[in-house]
């Protein structure tokens, strides 16, 4: 926290000029820019102080827009996206034009209606080095890009069935319509969508045609969710208990050894990270799961 300047005193709040809106430390505000053709600045108020003449100053921590950061605005940056910087400053309280809300990325995506005062932040940014925190985020679609909440994306029903239903907050595979040869209009009409990971091109085409006519799309195979359950550390012991119960059914004892080693390798690779599966592209995880699931089917057929 900034030290108090001589001749000043901390105050609890400030009422925005011409309004009845009260600003306190911790609130996010929009501030008048130096140039009229520039978008308002956004900052988080750290402290409010007044001098002996009752002049009010605010200590702020600036939010940066993507175009103001190293690398500029990219395809996955949303229109309301901000980066919380480590750039601290002091400004006249009279430059505050209004209050706003900077949501977490997760909470922003749950908003039913986004107002002019709503923003979101998923990265912290250091202007002095150009570094972002975190330096990795989940990627989606064949193009393997982070999620932009402004863009329409469609979910694969199969992926959703074997991910979301069993692991809370696990985001199913999502695709940009253009990346799966659909227009936005066609995507909006789909009742069901199946990605190419769960069916051949012919199956995919038929499923999409059926979906557009409100038919129930059928897939060529059902996914086994055991591996995903095993990918959560709290399910790890139960997963290997299953091996011991099923060993009597395995004719070739060597198969279970190979299978168990492969699964352990997969779990070690993912669980050793703080946010395990999110560190990988979804396509990579699918390939790993499919390889191990194939061995699973051989062992427990």
The C-alpha atoms of residue 203 and residue 195 are separated, in whole angstroms, by: 10
Q: Can you give the pLDDT at residue 45? A: 98
Taking only the tens place, the pLDDT of each residue in 211-266 is 555 433 333 233 333 343 344 334 444 444 444 444 444 444 444 444 455 555 55
Answer yes or no: are the C-beta atoms of 223 and 294 closer than 8 Å.
no
User: What residue spans of 129-221 are helical by DSSP H?
Assistant: 157-163, 184-189, 201-212
- Among candidate residues 70, 188, 74, the one with its CA nearest the CA of residue 129: 70
- Give the homologous superfamily in CATH for domain 136-223: Zinc/RING finger domain, C3HC4 (zinc finger) (3.30.40.10)
Domain boundaries, the chain: 8-133, 136-223, 224-301
Answer yes or no: are the C-beta atoms of 50 and 12 closer than 8 Å.
no
pLDDT classification of 293: cutoffs 50, 70, 90: low
Taking only the tens place, the pLDDT of each residue in 77-131 is 999 999 999 999 999 999 999 999 999 998 999 999 999 999 999 999 999 999 9
pLDDT classification of 52: cutoffs 50, 70, 90: confident
- Give the homologous superfamily in CATH for domain 8-133: Bromo adjacent homology (BAH) domain (2.30.30.490)
What mean pLDDT comes out for the span 141-145? Answer: 83
pLDDT classification of 290: cutoffs 50, 70, 90: low
Give 255 or 275, the one with higher predicted confidence: 255
Tokens standing for 175?
Answer: 């695709």
Rg (CA), the chain: 26
The C-alpha atoms of residue 298 and residue 254 are separated, in whole angstroms, by: 12
Taking only the tens place, the pLDDT of each residue in 3-33 is 666 667 889 999 999 999 999 999 999 999 9
């Amino acid at each position: 926290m900034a030290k108090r300047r001589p001749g000043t005193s901390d105050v609890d709040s400030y009422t925005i000029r011409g309004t009845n809106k009260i600003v306190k430390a911790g609130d996010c505000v929009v501030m008048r820019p130096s140039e009229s053709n520039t978008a308002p600045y956004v900052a988080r108020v750290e402290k409010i102080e007044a001098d002996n003449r009752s002049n009010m100053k605010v200590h702020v921590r600036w939010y940066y827009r993507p175009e103001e950061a190293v690398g500029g605005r990219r395809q996955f940056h949303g229109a309301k996206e901000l980066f919380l910087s480590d750039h601290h400053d002091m400004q006249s309280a009279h430059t505050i034009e209004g209050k706003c809300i900077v949501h977490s990325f997760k909470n922003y995506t749950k908003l039913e209606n986004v107002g002019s005062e709503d923003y979101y932040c998923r990265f912290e940014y250091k202007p002095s080095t150009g570094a972002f925190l975190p330096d990795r985020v989940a990627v989606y679609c064949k193009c393997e890009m982070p999620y932009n909440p402004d863009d329409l994306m469609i979910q694969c029903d199969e992926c959703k069935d074997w991910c979301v239903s069993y692991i809370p907050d696990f985001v199913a595979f999502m695709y940009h319509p253009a990346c799966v040869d659909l227009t936005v209009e066609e995507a909006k009409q789909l009742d069901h969508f199946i990605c190419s990971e769960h069916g051949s091109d012919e199956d995919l085409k038929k499923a999409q045609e059926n979906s557009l006519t409100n038919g129930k799309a059928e897939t060529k195979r059902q996914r086994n969710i055991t591996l995903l359950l095993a990918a959560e550390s709290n399910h790890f012991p139960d997963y290997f208990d299953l091996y011991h119960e099923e060993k009597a059914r395995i004719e070739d004892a060597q198969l279970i050894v190979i299978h168990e080693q492969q699964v352990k390798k997969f779990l070690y690779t993912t669980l050793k990270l703080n946010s395990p599966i999110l560190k990988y592209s979804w396509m990579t995880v699918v390939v790993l799961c499919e390889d191990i699931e194939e061995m699973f089917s051989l062992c427990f057929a």
